[in-house]
Amino acid sequence: MAHMKLNFIIAVLALMVTGGALGADMPELARKLNCTACHDIDKTIVGPSWMNIAKKYKGVNRFTFDDRDYPLVEGMMMKVSKGGSGNWITTPYPMPANDAAGTKQAEIRELVIFILGLKK
């Protein structure tokens, strides 16, 4: 009995540490590609929170990059890959290139789709 109670307390503490069962976590891939240095799911760090990015592009299906118009996912992949600035007044910094060599496009696509899928 005392043992079950202890397990319960540990489970509650674990939930508090991870931010609760409802909050999505940054995916392993985001850690691997170092996105987590500047982004979090629901907090602005250097870059906008991924929740806010999802909200901003809710219902949007085009994206302008380098003065050219692309389908949202494709354009967003270019921005993440090559870096850029100007879309977020919450941050005065540009995003540096995350895939200048173009060798991680499949992973970048997966992350962009994950981010846009956070919209509620």
Q: Which residues bind ligand HEC (CB under 6 A)?
A: 33-35, 37-39, 46-48, 53, 76, 79-80, 84-88, 91, 93, 95-96, 98, 111-112, 115
Kindly give the interhelix angle for 72-82 and 105-116, rounded to the nearest 10 degrees: 120
Q: Looking at beta carbons only, is 19 or 70 nearer to ligand HEC?
A: 70
Rg (CA), the chain: 17
Minimum CB–partner distance for residue 9 and ligand HEC (Å): 36
Q: Looking at beta carbons only, is 21 or 61 nearer to ligand HEC?
A: 61
Distance CA 116, CA 120 (A): 10
Minimum CB–partner distance for residue 34 and ligand HEC (Å): 5
Minimum CB–partner distance for residue 54 and ligand HEC (Å): 9
Rounded to 5°, the CA angle 48-52-57 comes to 110
Q: Count Cβ atoms below 10 Å from residue 92 Cβ, excluding itself.
A: 8
Minimum CB–partner distance for residue 93 and ligand HEC (Å): 4
